[in-house]
Amino acid sequence: MHLKYAIFKPQEMDRNFILSVALASVKMMFFVVLLLGFSFMGLGVGVGKAWVDTSPALDLEVLHSQSQTSFIYDKYN
Protein backbone atom coordinates (compact mmCIF):
# COMPACT_ATOMS: atom_id res chain seq x y z
CA MET A 1 0.00 0.00 0.00
CA HIS A 2 1.30 3.42 -0.88
CA LEU A 3 1.71 5.96 1.89
CA LYS A 4 0.28 8.65 -0.35
CA TYR A 5 -3.25 7.28 -0.03
CA ALA A 6 -3.06 5.83 3.48
CA ILE A 7 -5.41 7.17 6.12
CA PHE A 8 -2.82 7.08 8.89
CA LYS A 9 0.44 8.27 7.47
CA PRO A 10 3.39 9.87 9.21
CA GLN A 11 3.39 13.64 9.43
CA GLU A 12 5.68 15.08 6.81
CA MET A 13 5.91 18.68 7.99
CA ASP A 14 6.60 19.98 11.47
CA ARG A 15 3.94 22.18 12.95
CA ASN A 16 4.62 25.79 13.68
CA PHE A 17 5.96 25.94 17.25
CA ILE A 18 4.32 29.25 18.14
CA LEU A 19 0.97 28.11 16.77
CA SER A 20 1.09 24.84 18.70
CA VAL A 21 2.00 26.66 21.93
CA ALA A 22 -0.83 29.16 21.36
CA LEU A 23 -3.38 26.41 20.72
CA ALA A 24 -2.24 24.45 23.78
CA SER A 25 -2.53 27.62 25.89
CA VAL A 26 -6.03 28.31 24.59
CA LYS A 27 -7.09 24.74 25.38
CA MET A 28 -5.70 24.95 28.90
CA MET A 29 -7.34 28.33 29.53
CA PHE A 30 -10.67 26.94 28.31
CA PHE A 31 -10.52 24.08 30.79
CA VAL A 32 -9.36 26.36 33.62
CA VAL A 33 -12.26 28.76 32.99
CA LEU A 34 -14.66 25.82 32.76
CA LEU A 35 -13.37 24.41 36.06
CA LEU A 36 -13.62 27.79 37.78
CA GLY A 37 -17.12 28.28 36.41
CA PHE A 38 -18.32 24.97 37.81
CA SER A 39 -16.60 25.71 41.12
CA PHE A 40 -18.27 29.10 41.53
CA MET A 41 -21.60 27.69 40.39
CA GLY A 42 -21.36 25.00 43.07
CA LEU A 43 -20.38 27.61 45.63
CA GLY A 44 -23.39 29.76 44.71
CA VAL A 45 -25.80 26.83 44.88
CA GLY A 46 -24.37 25.80 48.27
CA VAL A 47 -24.67 29.30 49.71
CA GLY A 48 -28.21 29.64 48.35
CA LYS A 49 -29.26 26.30 49.82
CA ALA A 50 -27.73 27.15 53.20
CA TRP A 51 -29.50 30.52 53.17
CA VAL A 52 -32.88 28.93 52.43
CA ASP A 53 -32.35 26.12 54.96
CA THR A 54 -31.49 28.53 57.80
CA SER A 55 -34.28 31.03 57.11
CA PRO A 56 -37.21 31.01 59.54
CA ALA A 57 -40.49 29.42 58.52
CA LEU A 58 -43.05 31.79 57.03
CA ASP A 59 -46.35 32.01 58.92
CA LEU A 60 -49.09 32.65 56.35
CA GLU A 61 -51.72 33.46 59.00
CA VAL A 62 -49.78 36.53 60.05
CA LEU A 63 -49.68 37.74 56.47
CA HIS A 64 -53.41 37.18 55.81
CA SER A 65 -54.62 38.69 59.07
CA GLN A 66 -53.19 42.13 58.40
CA SER A 67 -55.94 44.68 57.85
CA GLN A 68 -53.59 47.32 56.54
CA THR A 69 -53.64 48.32 52.94
CA SER A 70 -50.83 49.57 50.80
CA PHE A 71 -51.00 52.75 48.76
CA ILE A 72 -48.77 53.67 45.89
CA TYR A 73 -48.45 57.41 45.37
CA ASP A 74 -47.30 59.11 42.23
CA LYS A 75 -45.95 62.64 42.06
CA TYR A 76 -49.52 64.08 42.12
CA ASN A 77 -50.61 62.15 45.26
In-domain check, residue 23: yes
In-domain check, residue 43: yes
In-domain check, residue 8: no
The DSSP-derived string for the chain is --TTS-SS----SPPPHHHHHHHHHHHHHHHHHHHHHHHHHHHHHHHHHHHHHHSPPP-HHHHHT---------TT-
In-domain check, residue 62: no
In-domain check, residue 40: yes
Q: How confident is the model at residue 3 (pLDDT cuts 50, 70, 90)?
A: low
Domain count, the chain: 1
Q: Could you read off the pLDDT of 26-71 as tens digits, one per residue?
A: 999 999 999 999 999 999 999 999 999 999 888 877 777 666 667 7
Q: Which domain holds residue 40?
A: 17-52
What pLDDT, on the 0 to 100 scale, is given for residue 47?
A: 97
What pLDDT, on the 0 to 100 scale, is given for residue 65?
A: 66
In-domain check, residue 34: yes
